A and B are shown apart, each in its own frame.
Chain A
Amino acid sequence: MSAAVSAENEKLILGYPVKDIPWERVLLISAFVVLMIFYTFATENFLTLENFVNVVRRDAWLFFLAYAQTLVIVSAGFDLSQGSIMSVVSVMAWSAMLHFGFFIGLIAGLGIGLLCGVVNGFFVGVVRVQPFIATLGMLFIGSGTAQLWTGGLQMGGAREGATLPKHVEEAYVFLAKGNLGPIPFTFIWILIALGAMWYLLKYTRFGTYVYALGGNEQTAISAGINFPGMKIAIFGIGGLLCGFAGLLLSANVSAAGEPRLGGGDQLLQSIGATIIGGTHIFGGRGGVLGTTLGVFLIIFLVNGLNIMGIDTYRQQIIVGLVILASIWVSTLREQKN
């Protein structure tokens, strides 16, 4: 009763009633714009098409990782195993490519990602382990498997004896670095993933149930939502996206099987981008559009600092501060409500 009445009387700004303006989103976009302007004036080469294309091409994997993390976090889960799924996929896809060619390798990579995700989902949904613990287990299992597979060595690249056939390697590299006319391939992958995830979350029952599970698990279950099935699907899709991210990153780095591929701060960046993008850490709120903005903010923040000649350690400090600031903003807003 009260909601409707007050909404009619309220002023609208850009179509939103004043109290419903998504301040976090506004702040995020303005932070991004300010950053762009700052870098444009502070450096010479920042605002060029070449730089933009290079950055998005190189960091494309982060989009997929962050979409996966967003899906999982919105459903009140957490995926720690993303990095090690990338590692496993990298080495196993490389092996498959060596023996069976590019496409089989691609499918194997995606399949392994999916499998890891489904196992995560099984433990979370059926065995009912906390997502944090279940995926922590997968983190160790994944990175252990990847290292065992290769004896801890990089496969291809510097290693003697086994290298991918020329045409396979070219195809692999093309996946990450190729162009379709003037448009980089990775842009297309990102747009497809973004579109699919957006559609999934907004227009399907699955998406609604993801939000319902994140918002109030008991209600969701009592409304007849299949909890184990949902968890397996959510983590499965997450694993699939991680697998693709692993393929992209290893193609970009060396087109080799890299057992420590996901051992860096990839996981942390994907969580960071998700949080900066306004997804609530306990689930129920958020989405892939915000996450896309979050990824853009992170990769261009780092890119600009690179151009300015500030080293990685300082970059990490700054990224950390940005994450804290974004969380602070959302907490303040929540407390006001």
Chain B
Amino acid sequence: MPESKNLLKMLKIDKSFPGVHALKEVDFDLAEGEVHILLGENGAGKSTLIKILAGMYHADSGQIEISETPTVIPDARTGRDLGISVIYQELNLVPDLSVAKNIFLGREPVLPGVMKRVDWAKVEQESRAIMERLDVKIDVNAPVRSLSVADQQMVEIARALVFDCKILVMDEPTSSLSGHEIEELFKAVNRLREHGVGIIYISHRLEEVHEIGDRVTVLRDGEYMGTWEVKEVELDFLITQMVGRTLDEKFPWTPREHGEVALRVRGLTRSGVFEDINFDLHYGEIVGLSGLVGAGRTEVARAVMGADPVDGGTVEMTNATKEKEEIQKLPHYPLWMALVDVVVFMLALPLFTVIFQGIYDPFTLNMNSPPPLFSGNWFYEWILGGPLYNIPNGPTPYLVAAGLALIRQLGLWFLERQYRWRTLVVDFVSWYALAICAMVFTSLFTQNFVLEWVMIWGGVAMIVIRFLTILTHERKWTPTLAIRRGLGLLPEDRKTQGLTQVLSVAFNTTSANLRRLIKRWLLNLSIEKDFVDEHIDQLKIMTPNQETQIRFLSGGNQQKVVLAKWLFRRANVLIFDEPTRGIDVGAKFEVHSQMLQLAKDGAAVMMISSELPEILGMSDRILVMREGRLTADIDRNEATQEGILRYAMTAD
């Protein structure tokens, strides 16, 4: 495109955050009708650059020219008015409004007249026109919630067009799309290109560079590496441009003996998130899990922990008890079981009524004489109830009880309740609550209390059935069970998921295992005090005292408290998710040393990290994930930054 006009020029953009120099004099430019791909590792500064363009951040220095006029973009609104639209990964739509209304949200045309009527016909018509322009078939009257993610993305693009956008930024648009949907998206992008829109395209998929891009710019560590015509560059060249971070950091790594397998993961799958994950983790080993943000690393860790449901696969922890636990999607409460429950209940109903009538009336607290075992016609007395006992008048209570039972069972079926031990307790309680409600309710309108007995014994029968069913099923892998087996997860977002910010260091350390503090039915806080003191020393947690609230601690010290929490829980298989994110260099070294010490003491450690130097520096073995799949299992000695990045970014 030799004659195409220059849309955007960003010159010597510089931006620092406290502690990080995010962008170092970055240049960027975009021509009309061009797809300019922005490449870089995690944290290379791509999103900072985009946010500066969109007006969400302000550059410390540098100049932005739009259509060759120097421009200042003070806020997001100005950015939009200048024709800059950003489509973020999280889509920004109102789910209940129709596609057309979403496209025109905030700028609906109003018909002339006092009634201020919105011209919905025009909105619909123009939305259709835009959809045609993009050549996609979306019903513009359908609510957005009924669309697939890909279609929602099209709606976002359409919306950008209505805002008369000249510069469209797409942040990883293909990360949640399937192959066919990506094709559709590319078609739409090509159509935009024909209309002269300049597109900045951020992607982690290197294949897409040649498929859709015109030019490509690489950032590394906030530095501008260069811009090339896509036709002139090879993928390998781009990869070498992206890596090459200096390895000047020190890592306290030493070789160790590895023990037997601590954690064995086989075929772990969660559709759309990750697929067929297999790996072993040995005692005394540190395994690094690398990959780009969004490759599914955290999700795998959470699934191994039992925190998220999975569609298939097993997690096996071979700890001292050698017990095998299976992750398995348990069968839902099946319809046949619901029907069996109802039938049993309805059969039990007249029988129990007859048998237990007259023994004990809970309302009057009268003990009546029990029915005679035999006084002539047993069939008459035991099966039909006979005239001796108070048989409820009319069918009403039976119908009400049967109706309630039916509603409950169908409800259970709908809600896809799973069998668990806890379910049993819940069942028991809810059944009795229901029985009492039903009793009170019917007693308001009728005058007998038969129903109570009926419900109670029906409930007992049902719980026995449920009990037997549970015995025949395997146990579900839950965080409770995983933790009991010695698994500990130090989450990426430690501030909210790992710690309670407003509570003390001591409380946060011991709260995950209060049982360990219990002596004679009470919490013995001296155990807590000793343990926390010892570990404040051992882990070098910088805190005034144990009672300090967590929020006053720095990030590194917070991380150490999370670690102390798992040590208190006696966890020996630990998963660190981004353990050193947002931590300063000194504390980083501390965390790494602790990790190593744990491994030396025989724990199995898995470390998820986006920082290649950390992965290379600390791991004995490196696993790489790409788009929900494990693509590589590399030994420490054979690993290089280029190699890892290649596995993380390209399909083999």
Contact A218 B415 (CB under 8 A): no
Assess whether B18 is interfacial by the CB under 8 Å rule.
no
Interface status of B137 (Cβ within 8 A of chain A): yes
Inter-chain contact A203/B147, CB cutoff 8 Å: no
Binds A, one of B90-98, B381-389, B571-579: B90-98
Contact A2 B148 (CB under 8 A): yes
Q: Does B117 contact A1, Cβ atoms closer than 8 Å? A: no
Residues of B within 8 A of A317 (CB): 441, 444
Chain A residues, Cβ within 8 Å of B110: 205
Question: Cβ of B101: which chain A residues have Cβ within 8 Å of it?
Answer: 208, 212
Chain A residues with CB under 8 Å of B150's CB are 1
**Distance in angstroms between the alpha carbons of A216 and B444 in the assembled complex:** 45
CB distance from A238 to the nearest CB of B (A): 20
CA distance A95 to B184 in the complex (A): 68
Q: Contacts A3-B142, A4-B139, A335-B414 known; A219 to B105 CB distance under 8 Å?
A: yes
Given A3-B146, A208-B101, CB of A220 within 8 Å of CB of B94: yes
Residue B118 at the chain A interface, CB threshold 8 Å:
yes
Rounded to whole angstroms, the CA-CA distance of A225 and B116 in the bound complex is: 17
A224 touches B77 (CB 8 A): yes
Q: Does B76 contact A (CB under 8 A)?
A: yes
Residues of B within 8 A of A218 (CB): 92
Distance between Cα atoms of A246 and B589 in the complex (Å): 69
Provide the bound-state CA to CA distance between A222 and B154, in Å.
Answer: 18
Q: How far is the CA of A4 from the CA of B148 in the complex (A)?
A: 12
Interface residues in A42-66 by Cβ distance below 8 A to B read none
- Decide: B105 and A208 in contact? CB cutoff 8 A: yes
- Nearest A residue (CB) for B146: A3
Is B120 interfacial (CB-CB < 8 Å)?
A: yes
CB <8 Å contact, A211 and B137: no
Instruction: Give the complex CA separation of A212 and B115 in angstroms.
Output: 21
Interface residues in B147-171 (C-beta closer than 8 Å to A): 147-148, 150-151, 154
**Within 8 Å of chain A (Cβ to Cβ): is B106?**
yes
Other-chain contact of B93, A1, A5, A219, A328 (Cβ < 8 Å) = A219
CB of B137 within 8 A of CB of A1, answer yes
Cα of A205 to Cα of B116 in the assembled complex, Å: 8
User: A225–B107 Cα gap in the complex (Å)?
Assistant: 9
A304 within 8 A of partner (CB) = no
CB <8 Å contact, A212 and B97: yes
Is A224 within 8 A of B106, CB to CB? yes
Q: Decide if A3 touches B414 in the complex (CB within 8 Å).
A: no
A residues 280-307 in Cβ contact with B at 8 Å = 284-285
Docked complex: A175-232 residues within 8 A CB-CB of B: 199, 203-206, 208, 211-212, 214-216, 218-220, 222-225
Interface size on A, as a range, is 20 to 34
What distance in Å separates the Cβ of A221 from its nearest Cβ neighbour in chain B? 10
Beyond A3-B138, A223-B106, whether A203 also contacts B120 by CB under 8 A is yes
Q: B82: CB under 8 A from chain A?
A: no
Q: How far is the CB of B219 from chain A (nearest CB, A)?
A: 26
B370 to chain A, nearest CB (A): 35
Q: In this assembly, does B136 line the interface, its C-beta being within 8 Å of a C-beta of chain A? A: yes
Q: Is A31 an interface residue when CB atoms closer than 8 A count as contact?
A: no
Does B108 have its Cβ within 8 Å of any Cβ on chain A?
yes
How many angstroms between the C-alpha atoms of A313 and B500 in the bound complex?
A: 45
| List of A residues within 8 angstroms of B137 by Cβ | 1, 4-5
> Are A211 and B118 in contact, CB atoms less than 8 angstroms apart?
no
Question: CB-CB < 8 A to A336: which residues of B?
Answer: 414
Closest to B181 in A: A1
- Is the CB–CB distance between A332 and B138 below 8 Å? no
For A204, list chain B residues within 8 Å (CB): 116-118
**Contacting residue for B136 out of A1, A205, A208, A220, CB 8 A:** A1
| A212 and B444 contacting across the interface, CB-CB below 8 Å | no
Q: Contact between A1 and B138 (Cβ–Cβ < 8 Å)? A: yes
Q: Assuming the A-B contacts A1-B138, A224-B77, A224-B106, are A211 and B151 also in contact, with contact meaning beta carbons closer than 8 angstroms in the complex?
A: no
State the CA gap A206–B106 with chains docked (Å): 10
Residue from B95, B115, B120, B139 within 8 A of A7 (CB atoms): B139
CA–CA, A225 to B104, complex, Å? 12
Please measure, in the bound complex, the distance between the C-alpha atom of A52 and the C-alpha atom of B589, giving whole angstroms. Answer: 80
Is A285 touching B96 in the complex (CB atoms < 8 A)?
A: yes
B184 contacts which chain A residues (CB < 8 A)?
1
| A314 located at the interface, meaning its Cβ lies under 8 Å from any Cβ of chain B in the complex | yes
A208, B108: Cβ atoms under 8 Å? Answer: yes
Closest residue of chain A to B81, judged by CB?
Answer: A224
Residues of B within 8 A of A332 (CB): 414
Which of A3, A208, A328 interacts with B118 by CB under 8 Å? A208
Measured in the bound complex, the distance between the Cα atoms of B110 and A332 in whole Å is 38
A284 to B98 Cα, complex, angstroms: 12
Q: Contact partner of B105 among A5, A214, A220, A335, CB < 8 A?
A: A220
Cβ contact within 8 Å between A215 and B139: no
- State the Cβ distance, B475 to closest chain A Cβ, in Å: 25
Given A1-B151, A1-B184, A205 contacting B118 (CB threshold 8 A):
yes
Whole-angstrom CA separation of A284 from B136 in the bound complex: 27
CB-defined contacts of A284 to chain B, threshold 8 Å: 94-96
Contacts of A205 in B (CB 8 A): 108, 110, 116, 118
Give the residues in chain A near B116, CB-CB below 8 Å: 204-206
Q: A204-B117, A224-B106 are in contact. Are A215 and B77 (CB under 8 A)?
A: no
Give the residues in chain A near B138, CB-CB below 8 Å: 1, 3-4
Interface residues in A308-329 (C-beta closer than 8 Å to B)? 314, 317, 328
Instruction: Give the interface centre of B94, B106, B118 by most chain A CB atoms within 10 Å.
Output: B94
**Smallest distance from the beta carbon of A154 to chain B beta carbons, Å?**
34
Shortest CB–CB separation between residue A316 and chain B, in angstroms?
12
A2: chain B residues at CB < 8 Å are: 147-148, 151
The 8 closest A-B pairs by CB, nearest first: A223-B106, A215-B94, A224-B106, A284-B96, A223-B105, A4-B137, A215-B96, A4-B139
Interface of B toward A, CB cutoff 8 Å: 76-77, 92-97, 101, 105-108, 110, 115-118, 120, 136-139, 142, 145-148, 150-151, 154, 184, 411, 414-415, 441, 444
Please list 27 pairs of residues, one from A and one from B, whose beta carbons are closer than 8 Å in the complex, sorted by A's number.
A1-B137, A1-B148, A1-B150, A1-B154, A2-B147, A2-B148, A2-B151, A3-B146, A3-B151, A4-B139, A5-B137, A7-B142, A203-B115, A204-B116, A205-B116, A205-B118, A208-B101, A211-B96, A212-B94, A215-B94, A216-B93, A219-B94, A222-B76, A224-B107, A284-B96, A314-B444, A336-B414
A2-B151, A203-B117, A216-B95 known, 5 other contacts, Cβ within 8 Å: A3-B151, A7-B139, A208-B108, A214-B96, A224-B106
Instruction: Spell out A's residues near B (CB within 8 Å).
Output: 1-5, 7, 199, 203-206, 208, 211-212, 214-216, 218-220, 222-225, 284-285, 314, 317, 328, 332, 335-337
